[in-house]
Amino acid sequence: MQTYLVGGAVRDKLLGFEPHERDWVVVGATPGHMQEQGFQQVGKDFPVFLHPDTGEEYALARTERKSGSGYKGFDVHFDPSVTLADDLIRRDLTINAIAEDEEGHLIDPFDGRRDIQQRVLRHVSEAFTEDPLRVLRIARFWARFHCLGFSIAEQTKELLQQMVTSGELRHLTPERVWKEWEKSLTTPEPHKFLELLNQLNATEDVLPQLKVSQQQLTLLAKMSRASDDTELRFASVFIGQPDDFNLSVFCQRLAIPNRYRHAAELAFQYQLLLSKAKLSSSEYFDLLQAIDYWRRPHRLTQFLTLRFTLFLAPEKGFIEAVKTAAAEAASVGASEIVAKGFSGKAIGAELARQRRQVFEQKLAAS
């Protein structure tokens, strides 16, 4: 029984990064061996075990054979005879197919270190094409490593194109598509994820009805340089979508979390206000009402960040003035209005009038 550190942890160490998590491969063991040592088995498709002390994942070395459509269409084989090389050859990229033994020696049968030095994303073997999810994974890796000078090998690009042409991407579940897209939003250049999908003509297969033009790529790149907020990065993609684009249906289809959907709605519904050269205090207050600032104050911050990052020069003093005026307007409550004898719909009308007055006066004075 031998244990090896594999994948991203080894790659990141070679790139000079501190690995965020560590994955291990175990050669020469059975599920029974692992359980006898206190490992807890998880996963249904193949045996993965959690270390009793660190909680890190240890997977038995395995091989895979394509047996159906999509990224789940595989028969998995594992037993003590499966070698480390057998396990590494099934991985996607050479830079992810490097292992490190317990003494710190590297096992690199596919020249992953060379590709790290030459800054190339290259497939390990022709079996690369068997898993359509790899199209999205390579797009995500490009979004992460492009800033370091990485490019995609031409032969790998050809295989990616073959996978798209085959129609295999249509078998990906929406949840897996969203998971890869969300991960790409945390990278230095998330627009590269969408850019590669466009280059491969894969966007319609995985993100149906979403228009990804140069405008969307530019706005996403600009937002990403200014902020690491993944919700705002996501939202910027929806500025400039066609009027008939159904955002709710799109988000529902991909099971996109509500916090992302709400940010996208803000960008999509109010894009004319976002790009307008100047907004009056009255327009700002109407916006507060429309986005329900009183219950969701963070939406004003999102709007201002989008507006002054993507369309206008930053005006920190003015941004803070709007936030301060809005907060003071929010301090006007309904109880005092009710105490003055207002009732029914008149309460809401008077509350809005007083809040508007406070907001506009405060903003004008700043």
- Characterise 111 by phi-psi region: left (phi > 0), alpha (psi -120 to 50), beta (else): left
Q: How confident is the model at residue 287 (pLDDT cuts 50, 70, 90)?
A: very high
- Looking at the structure, tell me whether residues 245 and 360 fall in a common domain: no
Its domain, for residue 14, covers 1-124
13 and 112, same domain (yes or no): yes
Say yes or no: 171 and 114 in one domain. Answer: no
Both 148 and 260 in one domain: the answer is: yes
Among residues 228, 249, 269, which one ends one of the domains? 269
The structural domain count of the chain equals 3
In 3-state terms the chain splits into helix, strand, coil percentages (rounded to 5) of 55, 10, 35
> Could you tell me if 113 and 220 lie in one domain?
no
| Long-range CB contacts (within 8 A, 24+) of 71-78 | 71/131, 71/132, 71/133, 71/171, 71/172, 71/176, 72/45, 73/171, 74/130, 74/131, 76/45, 76/46, 78/46, 78/47
Both 64 and 113 in one domain: the answer is: yes
Are 102 and 141 in the same domain?
Answer: no
Amino acid at 103: E
- Tell me the pLDDT tens digit for each residue of 209-222: 999 999 999 999 99
pTM: 0.89
Together in a domain, 360 and 318:
yes
Name 173's Cβ contacts closer than 8 Å, sequence gap at least 6.
Answer: 70
CA distance linking residue 84 with residue 274, whole number of Å: 54
∠ CA 279-314-220, nearest 5°, is 95
- Count of CB atoms situated within 10 Å of the CB of 321: 16
CATH number of the domain to which 229 belongs: 1.10.3090.10
One domain, residues 136 and 260: yes
Q: pLDDT for 106-149, tens place per residue?
A: 999 999 999 999 999 999 998 899 999 999 999 999 999 999 99
Tell me, yes or no, whether 331 and 357 share the same domain. Answer: yes
Do 111 and 185 share a domain, yes or no?
no
139 and 256 inside one domain? yes
